[in-house]
């Protein structure tokens, strides 16, 4: 065993900058998923954007979160020596360390490929199970709220806010961790493959949330695609950080954890808000801000155009970027017909939901669908949303 010649140094600032960029992309994709017109995709952009969100979630928070849970396992699967170096770095700064492994990229790749396959199969299984469960918009809303709370709880756990938040982390059964640990002692090519597959038993918090989302898709294919996109997203970050794991040490690991915590917290609130939207709650951020700043939608030239006709017909343009106008005004105490007009609309705005009426319809990409709105009291508001809780709008009833 020779002395290490050049210890690679990774500036934490650079890593955080990269992380911030990835996070910005993720948030931008979640907040502004509408601009699907700029991407020439003939197929259903709602599915594509959902997969893109899964991928970006993986590349940002998922990779780092998985690192915290599975990084040590990967390191120990490469060689037992690495784990010892990894844990023993503190207090041994000047001690002799082993030479960098020249070919660790190969077993890491094997590990990640096995992980990718295993999680894709798991996604298919979850989606298949989900297909036997009927998820109404309200059920999905509750599921999303639960996922959001789970993510927020996990973030608060990472911030060490209160001991109770530690229970948001699921501890795998002892027999599984023992089996995985003892298998990790091997050094053959088979070991990284096997351990990569076994990581399905020790998913990180973000992965668990993504698994719940895969369950909610109700489709084996979509569940598999979602988990594939997410796990693929985790792979680059996981690869790079795992490769450098022995060099980073515990101090930087804590630094990463804080970054992950912030990212998970933000995504948790986004998921929670989407769930509230899907439930038709006036307390969602979008619905609250729309009522607090009504001028935002009024200033939109498209938003002002269609107003209720005298014959009680409303027109709502369902576009790739959402619903226009976002606020419709309608006469109270009168049955109305809401015309949902799509024109080459491929985003999830097509999956139209009016939670209070328990109405759900997948609109045609081009065409008009009529919905009968029963008479509502003056001063009441009827919220509508897409099935993912991303695009929202409201009908305000007045005298």
Partner 1 sequence: MLKKTFKIPDMTCTNCAMKIEALEDDLDGVKEINASYHKLEMVIEYDESKLSDEQIIAAIKKKGYTATPA
Quick one: CA torsion of 373, 377, 380, 383, rounded to 10 degrees? -10
Cα(164)–Cα(156) distance, rounded to whole angstroms? 10
Q: Exactly one of 24, 170, 283, 302 binds partner 1 (CB under 8 A); which one?
A: 170
Q: How far is the CB of 183 from partner 1 (least distance, A)?
A: 12
Q: 10 Å Cβ neighbour count for 152?
A: 20
Cα(285)–Cα(294) distance, rounded to whole angstroms? 13
Q: Which is nearer to partner 1, 29 or 257 (CB)?
A: 257
**80-87 and 63-78 helices, crossing angle to 10°:** 120
Cα(355)–Cα(279) distance, rounded to whole angstroms? 6
H helix and E strand count, the chain: 13, 9
* Positions in 183-222 near partner 1 (CB under 8 A): 185, 202
Q: Which of 30, 24, 52 is nearest to 39 (CA)?
A: 52
Q: Supply 386's token pair.
A: 């897409």
- Strand 359-362 relative to strand 367-373, pairing: unpaired
Peptide bond into 68 cis (omega under 30): no
Verify binding: residue 171, partner 1, rule CB under 8 A: yes
- Strand 381-386 relative to strand 392-398, pairing: antiparallel
Query: Near partner 1 by CB under 8 A, which window of 69-77, 107-115, 285-293, 378-386?
Result: 69-77
DSSP tag of 59: I
Cα(285)–Cα(271) distance, rounded to whole angstroms? 11
Q: Exactly one of 109, 131, 177, 337 binds partner 1 (CB under 8 A); which one?
A: 177
Q: Which is nearer to partner 1, 163 or 301 (CB)?
A: 163
Q: How far is the CB of 125 from partner 1 (least distance, A)?
A: 23
Q: Which is nearer to partner 1, 30 or 151 (CB)?
A: 151
Q: Exactly one of 19, 33, 46, 72 binds partner 1 (CB under 8 A); which one?
A: 72
Q: How far is the CB of 167 from partner 1 (least distance, A)?
A: 6
- Output the CA angle 297-299-305, nearest 5 degrees: 80
Query: Near partner 1 by CB under 8 A, which window of 42-50, 115-123, 173-181, 383-391?
Result: 173-181
Q: How far is the CB of 177 from partner 1 (least distance, A)?
A: 5
Site string for partner 1, 82-101 (x = CB under 8 A): -----xx-x-----------
Verify binding: residue 248, partner 1, rule CB under 8 A: no
Q: How far is the CB of 250 from partner 1 (least distance, A)?
A: 6
Q: How far is the CB of 182 from partner 1 (least distance, A)?
A: 7
**CB-CB contact of 261 with 159 (8 Å):** yes
Which residue in this structure is represented by tokens 């508001």? 381
Q: How far is the CB of 70 from partner 1 (least distance, A)?
A: 7
Q: Exactly one of 37, 109, 131, 169 binds partner 1 (CB under 8 A); which one?
A: 169
Q: Which is nearer to partner 1, 68 or 396 (CB)?
A: 68
Q: Which of 355, 301, 333, 322 is nearest to 399 (CA)?
A: 333
Q: Exactly one of 68, 240, 357, 363 binds partner 1 (CB under 8 A); which one?
A: 68
Query: Near partner 1 by CB under 8 A, which window of 52-60, 169-177, 335-343, 363-371?
Result: 169-177
Verify binding: residue 70, partner 1, rule CB under 8 A: yes
Size of the site for partner 1 (CB under 8 A): 28
Query: Near partner 1 by CB under 8 A, which window of 9-17, 179-187, 344-352, 364-372?
Result: 179-187
Cα(397)–Cα(395) distance, rounded to whole angstroms? 6
Q: Which is nearer to partner 1, 72 or 223 (CB)?
A: 72
Residue 399: burial class (beta carbons within 10 Å; 0-12, 13-18, 19+): exposed
Verify binding: residue 257, partner 1, rule CB under 8 A: yes
**Residues interacting with partner 1, by CB under 8 A?**
68-73, 87-88, 90, 158, 163, 166-167, 169-172, 174, 177-178, 180-182, 185, 202, 250, 254, 257
């Amino acid at each position: 065993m020779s002395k290490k010649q050049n210890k690679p140094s990774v500036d934490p600032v650079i890593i955080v900058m990269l992380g911030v960029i990835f996070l910005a992309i993720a948030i931008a994709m979640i907040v502004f998923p509408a601009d699907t017109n700029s991407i020439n995709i003939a197929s259903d952009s709602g599915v594509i954007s959902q997969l893109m969100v899964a991928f970006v979630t993986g590349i940002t928070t998922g990779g780092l979160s998985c690192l915290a849970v599975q990084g040590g396992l990967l390191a120990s699967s490469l060689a037992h020596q690495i784990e010892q170096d990894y844990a023993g770095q503190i207090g041994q700064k000047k001690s002799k360390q082993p030479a960098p492994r020249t070919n660790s990229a190969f077993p890491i790749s094997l590990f990640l490929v096995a992980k990718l396959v295993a999680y894709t199969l798991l996604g298919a299984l979850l989606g298949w199970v989900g297909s036997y469960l009927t998820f109404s918009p309200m059920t999905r809303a509750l599921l999303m709220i639960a996922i959001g709370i789970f993510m927020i709880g996990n973030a608060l756990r990472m911030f060490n806010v209160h001991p109770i938040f530690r229970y948001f982390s699921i501890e795998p059964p002892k027999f599984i961790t023992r089996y995985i640990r003892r298998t990790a002692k091997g050094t053959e090519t088979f070991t990284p493959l096997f351990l990569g597959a076994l990581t399905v038993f020790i998913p990180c918090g973000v992965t668990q949330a993504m698994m719940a989302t895969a369950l909610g898709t109700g489709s084996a294919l979509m569940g598999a695609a979602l988990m594939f996109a997410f796990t693929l997203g985790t792979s680059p970050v996981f690869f790079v950080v795992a490769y450098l794991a022995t060099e980073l040490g515990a101090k930087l690991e804590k630094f990463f954890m804080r970054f992950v915590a912030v990212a998970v917290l933000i995504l948790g609130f986004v998921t929670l808000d989407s769930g509230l939207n899907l439930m038709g709650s006036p307390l969602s951020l979008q619905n609250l801000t729309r009522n607090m700043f009504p001028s935002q939608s009024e200033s939109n030239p498209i938003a002002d155009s269609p107003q209720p006709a005298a014959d009680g017909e409303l027109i709502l343009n369902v576009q790739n970027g959402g619903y226009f106008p976002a606020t419709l005004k309608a006469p109270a105490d009168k049955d109305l017909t809401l015309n949902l007009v799509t024109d080459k609309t491929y985003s999830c705005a097509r999956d139209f939901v009016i939670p209070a009426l328990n109405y759900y319809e997948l609109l045609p990409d081009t065409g008009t669908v009529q919905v009968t709105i029963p008479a509502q009291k003056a001063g009441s508001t009827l919220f509508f949303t897409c099935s993912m809780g991303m695009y929202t709008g409201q009908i305000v009833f007045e005298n």
